Amino acid sequence: MRTTTALFAVLLCPSVFAQDYLPLGDGNYWTYRSDKSSETFTISVGTPHQFNGEVYYSVKGYGVARNFLRRTAEGNLVQVDMEAGTESPVTLFDPGKQWESPLSGCKQTAEAPAKRGEYAGPVGIFPAAQTVSYGPGACADAGFQEETYLENIGLVRRVVNTLAGPVQYDLVSARVGKFTFSAGPSVIVRVSVPENSFQRRTAAEALHLQAVLQIDAVSALGVRVQFPTSQRYDMVLRNPSGAVVYRWSEGKAFLDVVGEETVGGPKSYLIEGEIDAATAAGLDDGLYTVEAWLATGEGPKFASSATVELYTRPAA
């Protein structure tokens, strides 16, 4: 959280102008993840448009439909109907003022309380967050329940009503102006093959396949990875058409023992396999793809690939 807080400290510097709770700039985006599943959604700001002497930004993901928004001198968000030429409120941050919000797609009244509260989530812990509360309105088991905003950063949390109960979405990555942020550790994965080509004397010749899967997790705590068995990785070889012609784990037995590793900093896995002569005889010369990954309980994770050439030397 230290790096996150330090980064956002720059964005959170008080402004002499009205508060800006959703910075509108071409290319800005915010991505949110559910607390119930891996589901995400993204708000993105596109090209500005000038209309009736005002500048509006095309915004997707903030509501059920694309909005053309501008920030008023008071710091509120309004949208324009370009056909009718009229403006209407979208999100108001004036304490105690109610409005009818169009964001969820059904009629809901919304209000911003006068008192700010603390926000704690993937982006860090901040003492002065602005919330927006939504009434049920015409939404029985749908619509929004609450939103949380940070000044100069944007929306950091949205709670949505569903048939299964409320679902909370928290900000996990964003670009605001020249600043970018990701809540998770940065992970760099690559596969390297010591030999860029397999040179064989005849087609009916066994091939020794060797690859190095390297994972570099840029995180002080590392990345925890769980394995459902004693298998730690897997590798396949694909022919030029994309079909799998060899799989490292095929025919191997693994212990039914759950394991766990923490990947922190650079970590390498050497994967070696043997393609028997009968299988190799059916492989034509050409460019093949080696793919490798960690065999976690969440399916293939930290996957990468490299290209190798299979080449049969002509007889002397």
pLDDT tens-digit map of 284-307:
999 999 999 999 877 667 888 888
Q: How much is the pLDDT for 142?
A: 81
Multiple choice CATH, 2-182, 3.30.200, 2.40.360, 1.10.3470, 3.40.50 = 2.40.360
CATH number of 186-312: 2.60.40.3880
Does 186 or 5 have the greater pLDDT score?
186
Domain residue spans of the chain: 2-182, 186-312
Same fold, 2-182 and 186-312: no
- 69, 54 in Cβ contact below 8 A? no
Tens-digit pLDDT profile for residues 125-182: 788 899 999 998 777 678 899 999 999 999 999 999 888 888 999 998 888 987 777 6
Which residues does 66 contact at the CB level (< 8 Å), separation at least 6?
A: 58, 59, 60
- Determine phi and psi for 10, rounding to 5 degrees: -65, -45
